[in-house]
Amino acid sequence: MEWHDLSVLVTGATGSFGRKFVEIVLREYKPRRLIIFSRDELKQHEMRQIYDDKVPGSPIRYFIGDVRDRERLYRAFAGVDIVLHAAALKQVPACEYNPFEAVKTNVLGAQNVIEAAIDRGVKKVIAISTDKAVNPVNLYGATKLCAEKMFIQANAYAGAGGTRFAVCRYGNVVASRGSVIPLFARQRENGVVTVTDPRMTRFWITLEQGVRFVLRCLELMRGGEIFVPKIPSMNIMDLVEAVAPGCRVEYIGIRPGEKLHEVLISEDEARHTVDVGDMYVIKPLHPWWQTGNWSEGTPLPDGFRYSSDKNEWWLRVEQLQDLIATYGFAPDVERTPHGGKLE
């Protein structure tokens, strides 16, 4: 893609993903226009202070708006070539307590994005999803599963030669808003860290890795795929040791809607998934899908399940310490330097 000719819009662009996306795309891709679409005017003001004074002739445009508002999306999508849909209500407890609001933003908002993109002639749309959409046990995961299904089937609504839709699905983002890392860092000041269950495992990805994965999928997408990166797992007790060594651990039990382990590809999905090296591509089971698409990939073995507890790639304590140090959450203790890094 010739980025200098493209107009790009990001929904939820003042969130963790959006801010990192803007940083990388402005520095390395230099699109003709980059539209920040979000409902938080304070964060947009803060973003202006970072970029508008430092980038001569900045391509950034700021739209106050909510994905619940279809008319505002229609206005914002005028002349847009690429849409990254990152806006969502993401906190599991908040979605459990406010289910109607979660549905309005994560499901109906997704429908609004799809319809506006098709009607405005957007070329490519990628939705950002989560491991919680696989076999969901909480409302947040259920709404993201609905959104995934809608974005994949949107290719049929767009018709041949119309807007192409795909999904990027990955795990927990290191040190993002709502991450357990800042919580552990605060708790270590009191010497007591709360853990739901010592057996818990999670997939981990950095913000920069997530953004670069999405950018690569934009180049590769043919319309209809769910892209899943190969990323490492970590055990919650290793994370505690990395962030708050020596602290007493208090076990508080799994919260409503929480899993012991997360899954990025279920056994049922694995039957129509291919391995393409550093990622998996889940192909849709719809009549409009071209069966030759991703024929270069390797089919997965029977019974394959990509879950955080069965992963072959793990981050251990020393690697986690190196990782969290880059985000300013490392404990003030002496430790042996370790060469292991999250690549």
Q: Catalytic site residues? A: 132
Pick the closest to residue 310 from 180, 207, 201 (CA basis): 201
Rounded to 5 degrees, φ, ψ at 164 are -105, 135
Strands, E assignment, the chain: 7-11, 33-38, 60-64, 82-85, 124-130, 164-170, 172-173, 192-195, 201-205, 226-229, 233-235, 248-251, 263-265, 273-275, 279-282, 298-299, 306-307
* Sign of torsion over alpha carbons 14, 164, 71, 3: positive
* Sign of torsion over alpha carbons 119, 120, 126, 132: negative
Residue 62 tokens, joined: 């700021």
| 171: Cβ contacts below 8 Å, ≥ 6 apart | 130, 131, 202, 203, 204, 205, 231, 262, 264, 308
Looking up tokens 């990166």 gives: 229
CA pair distance 229, 330, nearest whole angstrom: 26
